[in-house]
Structure 1
Amino acid sequence: MSGIERIVLQELEDRPHTTAEIAELCDTSSDDVLLQLRHLNIRIKRLLGYKEDPITVSATGAWKADGIAGLLRLNAQIELEVVPKFLDPSSSTWRLDFFLLAVLVRTGHLLVQDEISAGSQDRGDLATLIARSLLTLCAENQRRPIRGYKRVHEAEYAVDGEVDWESLVLPDPDGFRLSRLELTRENPYNATLAAAVRVLIPEVADGDTQAQLKMLERALLPQPPPPSTFPALPQRHSAMQRAYDLARLVVEGLGLDLNGGTFTGPGFVLSTWAAWQSLCEELVRRALPDHQVVGQKRWILGYRGTDPVYTTPDVSPLRGETADFLLDAKYKTRAGRKANINSSDLYEALAFLQASETNHIALLYPSVRPAKDLPLGTWTAFDKVTVNGREIEGYEVQIQGISQRGGFERIVAGARRVLPPKAVI
């Protein structure tokens, strides 16, 4: 086998005979493939804090991913591309949709770049999308590079700087000992950018993008090794914040380099339920600018002795200290089941309402219907339960195509049409 083969998994769907297929592609045994998968699962669990294996194998060799999505490296020859259940792998935009969500959940901000979208639709791999995003962000700020002062010690006969006076009498063979401040690009921030570029260069599939990465690498060098812990970017360089955040994400999440025959990182991966929760919170924050939108606010449900018992809905839009209504992000698919709110979600929602003394909560589910059946940005109410004057309403939200021009704004507009709930106003 030459080059890298890509195996596509749709989250929560069985992919038959995957073990045997990979074994044949790699000219190895099924046992070796299963051992490699075991190591991959260990790395993912360590990164995301999971207890159960995110990729499981049936007795017949079918593979299924649950709770993760992204680009995963199994070995030197095989990549696994895991598509979230709410995105369509046959769509030309699913990788862009995924990448936008990945940046949101890992950095806390959206990377909506129409020019990246327009230039990357057909490039076909996540590493190239990430690389083009980093190139665009750096190009936007090429006239405002991250620079700082560094004290340099050297010896020469031309005096330019602070002189060690002893060397005036007994100079070194190379000249007087000097110390001066220089404005330089050598710093941990540019070192992180350079490290991200080095990780991306061998991973991208597009030759033009790879050439641009090499040009950026030459512009950044020389740099020290990237720091083990990433320092906060100084406020004076805030224009480079998104580029720096993305570079950190690459260095942390795309650890695909070989180290003693094993891969040091799981690849570009995220927790799908966490991504959905982060997206819901951001959508509500944009849709309701007149509210203080708080994620994971703790409300007191009751007391165990004298200790409070808390409950935490995902999104609490506040006016002062009180909430007009609540929202909770749900990820369990409703595909193939009756369109109603299940009992566990219902009981949890009632606890949220009682604790917050609120009368309405919206449960938000990602739509798994094709975009042709449910357009982007549509919020569809599928069930409503009323208990003693309190309402629990379920919505499915279509986000396929969120990376399209104006896609995120269409979903926000859909939120504004249904929020705040009319029953509460």
Structure 2
Amino acid sequence: MHRLVLQELRSAPGAVREIASFSGISEAEVLVHLRELNDKVKSLLGYEDDPITTSSSGALKADGVAGLLRLNASVELEVVPKFLDPASPTWRSDFFLLAVLVKTGHLLLHDEISAGTQDRGDLAMLIARSFLTLYTENERRPIRGYRRGTRADFALDGDVDWETVFLPDPDGFAVSQLELTRQNAYNATLAAAVRILIPEVADVDMQAQLRLLGRHLAPQGAAPAFFPPLPPRHRGWQQAYELASLIVTGLGLNLDGGVFSGPGFVLSTWSAWEFLCEELVRRALPDYTIVGQKQWVLGHRDAEEVYAKPDISPITKGAVPLLLDAKYKTRFGKSPRINAGDLYESLAFLRAVQTDHMLLLYPSVRPPDKLALGEWHLFDQINVDQQIVQGFEIQIQGLARRGGFEELVTGARLLLNSKLGTVGVQ
């Protein structure tokens, strides 16, 4: 299997020719495969435009998507988000941690997980702790269901196979019975995740907790090839089940060697960035109510209200001292600036909310030695009368290292508290 590495928003010259060579097919057939792949990704992410495009010269370019994509039986496309460096040995861990956070909405969000940096451990340790926490929350309501089982017994309690009444087995009559059991595809997935985590975790105490959990789940069969949706009555298990599914499909526990073991994984980069920004603000301002995509009345069309929906609205005592909006589009090799469209949209948001300060948040594409993890760098500011629109780039490379998420939260807290102090809100 040949793996072609692309970085989002950067062209890869000669990629179509390279894929054709490794696949043993024509370049026209490669374009057919790209069309099929684009159709799948668009269906999965709800996109209208192709996320992977090709030029007349045979260059490939990815936009709005990252992850591992199987193009055909011979070639995989590894698409690196624009805010991570493909040359860095840790980018895959950063990407996986962000992906799990977005997919489950839960990783790192428990106080007992994120209370300190001294006992956080590595990525596998972090995932294991999150998984154990999610399991503990629901273990009093186990995932059980009815199934028909067969056993041999001399007690006739159930549907008896009457042929065995005359010729019984040494252990008794064949009896079929409907039983409530924990042996099902859902628990099999949880158990498989535990088996995968144990050798990945270096901490002996954590290994012991995982083994205890494995014995509690046993006996179970192999994890299913397809993960069925949880029944509504077990919705409390949804996050633990989703995390277990990610672990079982191999999305990142063995990334140091540069290998994804899953069949394919794709993430919408701009929506992941928006989710991360909202979570950072929520954790940085615990005394505020953080509302994402809140509808604010901007105007009216006849009797109908017209709304503006900024990404992040921090509310305290009914007031909104400032707004934040997650932005993703930046240009490589050029000085970043707030473009006219973002400015006009920001002014509309400020008018609707009746506040004067807007922060636009962009992922930094600068290396960590130029901008440290968690730092916010002001790259542009536009004043319109009393209203201020500021553009910040935020460094997230190193997210998966020990204490990385706390560094992100600390950086957000320092910057936001300074801004809130400026506008007179403590």
> Structure 1-normalised TM-score?
0.78
Distance in 1 (alpha carbons) for counterparts of 2:177 and 2:249? 36
Give the 3 Å change call, closer, same or farther, for CA 46–195 of structure 1 in structure 2: farther
Q: Which residue of 2 aligns with 1:204?
A: none
Greater CA deviation, 377-386 or 343-352?
377-386
Distance in 1 (alpha carbons) for counterparts of 2:278 and 2:302? 33
Q: Which residue of 1 aligns with 2:116?
A: none
Instruction: Please list, as runs of the form range in 1=range in 2, the aligned pairs for 1:384-395 lying within 5 A after superposition.
Output: 384-395=381-392
Instruction: Please list, as runs of the form range in 1=range in 2, the aligned pairs for 1:217-236 lying within 5 A after superposition.
Output: 220-221=220-221, 226=226, 228-231=228-231, 234=234
User: Does 2:46 correspond to 1:49?
Assistant: yes
The amino acid across from 1:311 in the alignment is A
Out of 292, 296, 299, which is 2:296 matched to? 299
User: Does 2:123 correspond to 1:117?
Assistant: yes
User: Does 2:169 correspond to 1:159?
Assistant: no
Q: Which residue of 1 aligns with 2:65?
A: 68
Give the 3 Å change call, closer, same or farther, for CA 372–155 of structure 1 in structure 2: closer
1:372-396 CA distances to partner (integer Å, 9 max, x unpaired)? 1111111111222222211111111
Q: Is the partner of 2:361 in helix, strand or coil?
A: strand
Whether the 8 Å contact between 2:134 and 2:239 is mirrored in structure 1 is no
Instruction: Please list, as runs of the form range in 1=range in 2, the aligned pairs for 1:18-417 lying within 5 A after superposition.
Output: 18-110=15-107, 114-117=120-123, 133=127, 137=131, 146=142, 148=144, 150=146, 152=148, 154=150, 156-159=152-155, 162=157, 175=173, 177=175, 179=177, 181-182=179-180, 184-193=181-190, 220-221=220-221, 226=226, 228-231=228-231, 234=234, 242-249=239-246, 267-417=264-414
The amino acid across from 2:154 in the alignment is A
Give the 3 Å change call, closer, same or farther, for CA 139–341 of structure 1 in structure 2: closer
Whether the 8 Å contact between 1:326 and 1:360 is mirrored in structure 2 is yes
The amino acid across from 2:144 in the alignment is G
Distance in 1 (alpha carbons) for counterparts of 2:161 and 2:373? 73
TM-align CA RMSD: 3.8
Distance in 1 (alpha carbons) for counterparts of 2:324 and 2:245? 31
Distance in 2 (alpha carbons) for counterparts of 1:395 and 1:273? 16
Distance in 2 (alpha carbons) for counterparts of 1:402 and 1:233? 35
Q: Which residue of 2 aligns with 1:424?
A: 423
Give the 3 Å change call, closer, same or farther, for CA 101–33 of structure 1 in structure 2: same
Q: Is the partner of 1:419 in helix, strand or coil?
A: helix
Distance in 1 (alpha carbons) for counterparts of 2:54 and 2:147? 57
Whether the 8 Å contact between 1:192 and 1:226 is mirrored in structure 2 is no
Give the 3 Å change call, closer, same or farther, for CA 100–34 of structure 1 in structure 2: same
Unaligned runs of 5+ in 2: 114-119, 201-206, 208-213, 252-261
Greater CA deviation, 97-106 or 282-291?
97-106
The amino acid across from 2:367 in the alignment is P
The amino acid across from 2:281 in the alignment is V
The amino acid across from 1:317 in the alignment is P
The share of aligned pairs that are identical, in percent, is: 50
Whether the 8 Å contact between 2:134 and 2:240 is mirrored in structure 1 is no
